[in-house]
Each structure stands twice: as C-alpha cells, then as structure tokens.
Amino acid sequence: MSAENPYAEAVGAADPGGAALSVRDLTVTFPGDDGQVRAVRGVSYDLNPGEVLGIVGESGSGKSVASMAVMGLLPKTARITGSVRFRGRELLGLSEKEMTSVRGNKIAMIFQDPMTSLNPVYKVGWQLSEAVLAHHSVSKEAARKRALELLEIVGIPSPDKRIDQYPHEFSGGMRQRVVIAIAMANDPDVIIADEPTTALDVTVQAQVLEALRAAQRETGAAMVLITHDLGVVAGQADRVLVMYAGKPVEIGPIDGIYYQPRMPYTVGLLGSLPRLDQRTQDKLTPIPGTPPSVVNLPPGCPFAPRCPLRTDICLRVEPALLPVLGAEHQAACHHSDQLAHESAMEIFSTDPNADPGQGPRDQNHEQGPDQNRQSGAAQ
Amino acid sequence: MSTLTPTPSRALDTAPLLSVRHLVKEFPIRSAGLLRKQIGVVHAVSDISFDIAAGETLGLVGESGCGKSTTSRAVLHLQPATSGQVFFNGVELTTVGKTGLRRLRRDMQLVFQDPFASLDPRITVNEIIAEPLRIHGLYGDKAAGRRQVADLMATVGLKPEHGNRYPHEFSGGQRQRIGIARALALKPKLLVLDEPVSALDVSIQAGVINLLEELQDEFGLAYLFVAHDLSVVRHIADRVAVMYLGKIVEIGSRDALFEHPQHPYTQALISAIPIPDPRRERSRERILLRGDVPSPANPPSGCRFRTRCPKFLTLTFEQQQKCINEEPLLVGRGPGGMPTSEEAAHRAACHYAESLRVL
C-alpha cells in the first residue's frame, strides 16, 4: 500500500496506454445442465503500474473466475470473450506455450493454498534459486545468496537453516511467504493474489500481508488482491472493485468506496460487518435474501430482489457502471444519487421483501428455498 | 449479606449457570506399530477455569489449535475431560451418570460450525427439528409436535411451510438457522456455539448474529460463543476469554479486554485484525509475532507464549528467567496491592502484564 493519496494515483486509470494490465468486457461462460452459467458478465478495469487493486465480493460473485481467466488458467470448457492486455499485448487467445512464458515471467500468481505453487519434492532453496536463475544470468552461488535475501525479506526466521528444508517442514503461513518470495524472484510487473490469507489465522495473516507489502515495495509491481475480507482490502488497496453476480457494481478509490459508497450492495456489505473498534450496541444491518444464481439471470439489476431502493426500472434495465463522484468512482445503480446521505441502517431497515404477516423477524429473513435451489446448482 | 441462611432462590441467582474448574484435556500420541504404545501427550486444554452466568455470552477466542473447540466439547461432556470439573447449575457432570447427563443435556445444546455437515441430508427439516423433542419424549401427539416445530421455525426466521423440504434446498444461512432451531427445541439455558457464523458470507452472517442476539433477549439464553473472528466476538459477547496453546491467557469484560488488553498475545491478536476502515488501517501499528505456535505435545516451560512474545525480548536476563521458569497465573493485575473487583474480573496470565491500547 502506498501512503500517497489514492485519489491522485487513480487519475491514470482513464488512460489504458499506461496501464500494466488492461481488462475489457471480459466474460466467462460455462456450459451447464440447466443452461449457461454466466460466471463473469463483463468485467473491465485498468491496473496502473505500482498500484494495488482490491477485488471484493462474496462466494459466487465471479471474482476468482475473472482472475483465472486473466491468467489463462480456466479449463477448455470455459468460453471467454473480451480482451486482456498486458503492457499492450493481448493475452486472450495466446497458445499455452506463449502464455506460460508470460505467466512465469512478468505476471506472478499467489493462490489461497501455497502447496499448489510449491513442489513438494524439492528443497525450498532450490525452488527459489531456480526462479532467480530463470531471470538473471548469475552463478548458482549468487542465486542462492539472493534466495536467502528473499527469504529474509518475507520474514522467514533463520533463513540459512530454512533454505535447505522441504515445503512440508514449513507451516501454512511460512509456505505462503515462500511463494511470495518466489514471486519476487521472478521480478514481476503484476502480482495477482487470489485470497492469499483466507485460510490463515489472523496473526499469521498479518505476517503474510506484511510479506506481500515487502514484495510490492521491492519489485514495484502492481497487484490485484482478490478477497472477501473488506478489512484486508482496507489496509492494502489503493482502489477497489466490488463484484456482484459476475459484474463490477462499483469501482473507485478506496476512500470513496468505504466512506461514500454509491451502490446499495456496497453499502449493505459495509453495514453488515461487525466492527472490532467500536463500542456500539447497535444491531448489524444484514442484506435480506441471498445472491442470485448466475444461471438464467432475470433481466434488470441483479441486486434488485434484495434492494430496498428498487423501482420498476431496476427490474427491467440492468444499470451501467457510470461515474458518480468524479470519473474514477463509478457505480452501477439507477438510484446512486439517493445514497449520498443515507447510511446502511436507514436504507436496509425498511425492507420491501418483508411479508407483512410474519412478524418483526422478517427483516433479516432470507428468501424461500426455491431461489436457493437455483443458486445451489450454479455452485 | 449477613444472614446465615440464604434463601434457595437467592443462591440460584448468584451461582453461575456453568462453572468450569481446572479443566484438562489430553490426547495420547501413539506409535505407529502394532502395540500402538503411547509415546506422548497432546496437551489440548491445560487447566482452565471460567464461569458463565445465566443470560450471559462468553466469547472464547484463539487461533487454530489453541484448544477452544476441545473446551466446548468437554463442557458438554461430549468428550470427557481428562481431569477437572464442569458444573452446570451446581451439578457436576461426571457425577450424574448417563441418565442424569441426558436430562442435563436438555438444558445445554450445541450449534455446529458447518451447516452442511451437521444436518442429516436424508430427512426433512421438520424431522430434523423434531428429533430432539422425540428423543426426550416432548413431541406429544402429532398436532402438538407439528405446532412446536412450526413455532421453532418461525422463531428463527424460517417459513414453517418449508418444513417438508430437505437441507440441500436451503442456503448456508438458512441451514444455520435450522441448526439453531434444533438446538432451541428443548428450551435450553445454555447454547454452545462453535464458530456458528464462520462458514457464512458477511451479508448473511449479520442476519444470524442478529438472530442470536434476539433469541438471547427473548429466552434468556447463555452462550458459550467459540470463534476465531474477534470482530464478531466484540459485537456479541459480554465477556471474552483468550486462549493460547491450551490455556486462557486473558479474560475480562468485552470493552476492558478490547480497549485495554494486558497480555502481549491479546495485544498482538487485536492489532492483527484488519478493520474495514481505510483511514484507520493506514495509521495502525501492527504487533507482528515471530514464528509459529509451538506444538501442544511439547509446550514451552513457564509461560507458553514466551517463545513468540514481543515483550519477552524487551526484558532483562533476570526478568526473562521468571518467564522461563515460572508459569504466570491468571490473576487480576491492578496497580499494586489487592485487586479491586473490576481488576479481579479482568485477569491476565503474564508476569509483566501492562495495559496497552492497540485499537
């Protein structure tokens, strides 16, 4: 994370020429028994050099699938359209061999499970040195020295001992830090981290996030950080993209998204979080209902069935992502003006879904099982 | 009170609903050979004590492997403790025998973490919720039983007409509500909630947390709320106990513990939780811990946290000897002399405990 004003950094967003990674109208469709699963329905963003873009969303929002598509890691059954440009070069449609060279070279990936990236039969030091040697013509001794340095940077205690151990001798958090060290050895322009700390305990998460920051500082790489944790994003990202039902519903500088959200889903998401730093006895404000199935999505705004502000137009026309507060902060909502002065509590406590006959608990009532049967099929 | 013969009702009011004393749970480590000889012991829970009053929520927090789930199971006697006592309403669980335990279990129920694994997929929701009523002979005739089940579903915010459906037809949040309805069926006094919202997305999680709070107000339930998410615990608990490597390192009222944590581990834990507030996150200082949690099969001598403790590093050699050789007791550590009652309620197991604001 940079300490500069995130607004200042986001200015470059409008200029795709300068972007490290430029994604346009990306869609991903999987064939399914009940119809097409439209997991990603049009994602566009620019990742500027050196910035951290957080992509947040709940399970099934398409945040991971979109990033897998960017990296070319989806199975052949997936139909991908749109454009992914890395420093001006189109990545979609590259052969597997060409893609491999891009992936290893300039785009590094960090997944939730570090063992998917580490080879269990080689020592950690060997795997790190290999990455160093692949990109620099140095001697083996120099590569090993660099490997030691990298382990030191990501905070592995006594790296001179650890370098000759195998991945299974490391704990989960330490393995993730080794993966980050390898990513740094590749000297990437872009790091894509998909839920890098999700399975970890909080004190370990803090260590790994610190290592990620160190990696970004050392390499100057831009980073896409995909997570469901709005707290992690708050501390790491310069800009945030909020996904819902396969589409970005709001994107903007981090302070704008957190302090002036203009899409009811973002407002609801922030309002439903219990806060560690507040002495409040107030009730949380849950979002009624459940996320829609991305199979046979009805027309209109996908959030409309759960939205207290919905009107007729919401059920007919899916809103486009339009500027709300300056060009950088965009939201997909017909009623984003209304959100300027209302809190989550004010918006969501009048719930149009409530059944008048059901009593006071209906406010946090989830919808009937029928709808969920569909979303179950989509997962 | 000066009277020598307190009335029974008065005694009931003041006695805690649940009292755990010197609870120890060890698991044997056995060799791989034919004899499966015991070669070691995992000290999952090492001598912990706490009370829960009627209608109160105690949050039990800690990271994976700290023994919080083992504690919750030992409290219900699902896994008998190695030693120590659990008193429920003044009755010790180990002394009551099988029948007595079954009767006591009416009053203490468990809600599991995974709403997918804890509901039988082959029976309808009506049957799932009716099962505890049938086991304890409270179902009554068909009409009465059905009515009870329908009431329970409405209580947890589900539509009674969905009772004929199977668990797979419900979402995660709804399934967790089914699990809560099942636990409520016997009108318990204590619910043990083992990570009840960890498997849920945040927008759904908030609804279940609100439901738990409403149920507590309505039925006067006491909760033992086991969780790793401190933000949720800060929201729902009255008091909080922090566990590390099988021991309670700090216990106190919620606001005292979060705002003035005394144990270095609690301080590190709180400082590590990300807050969904970018401006605050940018200005926060994290206390980073070194290394990993030691093995519970071979915990460090003296203070179990000393191998990772940031405070330990700042101590002189003589001071460190105390951490290495002497186990710190969980006691109120007010500034000098006898602890006041509030200090006694806020206790930390650290020789050099010092209150620190980390939020």
- Which of A15, A29, A13, A11 has its CA nearest to residue A79? A29
What local confidence, expressed as pLDDT, does residue B171 receive?
Answer: 86
Alpha helices (H) along B241-296? 254-259, 264-272, 278-283
- Model confidence at B222, pLDDT cuts 50, 70, 90, reads very high
Q: Lowest-confidence range among A152-161, B37-46, B118-127, B336-345?
A: B336-345
Cα separation of the two ends of chain B: 40
Residue A70 domain flag: yes
Residues above pLDDT 90, as percent of chain B: 68
Q: Is A242 exposed, middle or buried (0-12, 13-18, 19+ CB in 10 A)?
A: buried
**At B254, is the pLDDT very low, low, confident or very high (cuts 50, 70, 90)?**
very high
Distance CA B344, CA B120 (A): 45
With cut-offs at 50, 70 and 90, classify the pLDDT of residue B340. Answer: low
Does residue A349 or residue A148 have the better pLDDT?
A148
Would you say residue B308 has pLDDT above 90? yes
Residues pairing with B332 in the sheet: B347
B119 — pLDDT class (breaks 50, 70, 90): very high
Same domain, A235 and A147: yes
Q: Are residues A232 and A138 part of one domain?
A: yes
Residues of A in contact with B270 (CB under 8 A): 276
Q: Is residue A319 part of a domain?
A: yes
**Could you tell me if A200 and A297 lie in one domain?**
no
Which of A227, A242, A257 terminates a domain? The answer is A242
Q: Which of A189, A223, A242 is the last residue of a domain?
A: A242
Per the domain annotation, does A3 fall within a domain?
A: no
- Mean pLDDT over B93-108 rounds to 89
Same domain? A154 vs A296: no
**Are A238 and A349 in the same domain?**
no
pLDDT above 70 for A352: no
Whether residue A282 sits in one domain with residue A213:
no
Pair A73, A135 in one domain: yes
Contact residues for B114 (Cβ-Cβ < 8 A; gap 6+): B199
Kindly tell me if the per-residue pLDDT of B338 is higher than 60.
Answer: no
| CA gap B130, B117 in Å, rounded | 18
A198 with A162, same domain?
yes
Predicted confidence (pLDDT) per residue in A103-115, tens digit: 777 898 898 888 8
B 194-223 → A contacts, CB under 8 A: 201-207, 209-211, 213-214
Judge if A212 and A300 occupy the same domain: no
Is A10 inside a domain boundary? no
The distance between the two most distant Cα atoms of chain A, rounded to a whole number of Å, is 77
Tell me the nearest-neighbour CA distance from B67 into chain A, angstroms. 14
Q: What is the CATH number of the domain that holds A109?
A: 3.40.50.300
CB B77 within 8 A of CB B91: no
Shared domain for A204 and A70, answered yes or no, is yes
User: What pLDDT score does B114 carry?
Assistant: 81
* pLDDT tens column, B232-244: 999 999 999 999 9
CA–CA separation, A1 and A229 (whole Å)? 16
Nearest chain B CA: its distance from A201 CA (Å): 6
Q: Average pLDDT of chain B?
A: 89
Confidence of residue A311 (pLDDT cuts 50, 70, 90): very high
Residue A264 is assigned to a structural domain of this protein: no
What is the rounded distance in angstroms from the CA atom of residue A297 to the CA atom of residue A280? 38
Mean pLDDT of chain A: 84
Give the nearest partner residue to B210 out of A233, A283, A366, using CB atoms.
A283
Average pLDDT of span A2-18: 44
- How many domains in chain A? 2
ipTM (interface pTM): 0.84
Q: By the 8 A CB rule, do B88 and B18 touch?
A: yes
Residue in B with minimal Cα distance to A159: B291
Domain presence at residue A339: yes
Is residue A282 predicted with pLDDT exceeding 80?
no
pLDDT at A331: 95
> Which range marks the domain in which residue A68 is found?
16-242
Residue B24's Cβ-count burial label (10 Å; 0-12, 13-18, 19+) is middle
Residue (of B12, B13, B71) closest to B251 by Cα position: B71
**Are residue A37 and residue A162 in the same domain, yes or no?**
yes
